[in-house]
Chain A
Amino acid sequence: AQTVTQSQPEMSVQEAETVTLSCTYDTSESDYYLFWYKQPPSRQMILVIRQEAYKQQNATENRFSVNFQKAAKSFSLKISDSQLGDAAMYFCAYQGGSEKLVFGKGMKLTVNP
């Protein structure tokens, strides 16, 4: 079975600074997708960024970028120019041959003004 591990339960960053959230996963599949989701107190999961495993190029979405290391099964999220609105729970997720998403335990990000 696939597993996703987020080893840092909490992190904090100063506004306008850069922060990196780490995630590792385990799978025997060769074709899969990886995601970072944001969950504010409203509970709604919001997709931040998505990476296809077959693509070597790291995905970017404005201030958000990933460092995807397939051999190491590592998938970190970098948030640049952090904003107060970035404060939330962040979840790393895996999707392989089955349609279900497998999530990590999440990490609480605090942004200090």
Chain B
Amino acid sequence: GAGVSQTPSNKVTEKGKYVELRCDPISGHTALYWYRQSLGQGPEFLIYFQGTGAADDSGLPNDRFFAVRPEGSVSTLKIQRTERGDSAVYLCASSFLTGTEQFFGPGTRLTVL
């Protein structure tokens, strides 16, 4: 596809479980970003990758959150021991280079029961 895709679209899990959220960026985009959008709020930055490496992970809330991008394309956001407060829409974006327009995916809505 031409745009950023994210899977799954919706994820319901139980407190304490482990989840993985996937992001497929636009082909050729070197930078990839994760944001979290809680209900009634604007998106908040979590982490961004330049190629395979995490260039800035200052937005990750705690060590239960981890993200990888092993081949510089697809990225996975991993959340361990989920808590109800992790419920949110997780948005992924990619850009051709850092400093250029970020194109967003449709997000994954995570619900932790």
Tell yes or no: A100 within 8 A of B by CB: yes
Asked if A98 CB lies within 8 Å of chain B CBs, one says yes
Any A CB within 8 A of the CB of B41: yes
Residues of A within 8 A of B1 (CB): none
Neighbouring B residues of A75 by C-beta, 8 Å: none
Q: When each residue 89-113 of chain A gets 1 if its CB lies under 8 Å from chain B and 0 otherwise, what string results?
A: 0010100001111111110000000
A72 to B: closest C-beta gap in Å: 21
Q: Is B101 an interface residue (CB 8 A)?
A: yes
**Contacts A43-B89, A47-B101 given; does A99 touch B56 at CB 8 Å:** yes
Interface positions of B from 73 to 88, Cβ below 8 Å from A: none
Instruction: Give Cα A99 to B40, complex, Å.
Output: 24
Most buried by B among A42, A45, A46, A103: A45
A47-74 interface bits toward B, Cβ cutoff 8 Å, 1 = contact, 0 = none: 1001000000000000000000000000
Question: B98 at the A/B interface (Cβ < 8 Å)?
Answer: yes
A98-B56, A99-B33, A99-B99 as given contacts; A44 in contact with B106, CB under 8 Å: yes
Within 8 A of A (CB), among B52-92: 55-56, 59, 89, 91
A17 CA to B41 CA, complexed, in Å: 27
Known contacts: A100-B45, A104-B42, A106-B41. The answer to whether A45 contacts B104 by CB under 8 A is yes
B101 / chain A contacts, CB cutoff of 8 Å: 47, 50
> Is A91 a contact partner of B105 (Cβ separation < 8 A)?
no
The answer to whether B42 and A44 touch across the interface, beta carbons within 8 angstroms, is no
Q: Could you write out 30 A-B pairs with CB less than 8 Å apart?
A: A4-B42, A42-B106, A43-B107, A44-B105, A44-B107, A45-B43, A45-B91, A46-B104, A47-B101, A91-B43, A93-B42, A98-B56, A99-B31, A99-B48, A99-B55, A99-B56, A99-B98, A99-B99, A100-B45, A100-B56, A100-B59, A101-B33, A101-B35, A101-B102, A102-B45, A103-B42, A105-B40, A105-B41, A106-B41, A106-B42
Interface residues in chain A, defined as those with a beta carbon under 8 Å from any beta carbon in chain B:
4, 42-47, 50, 91, 93, 98-106
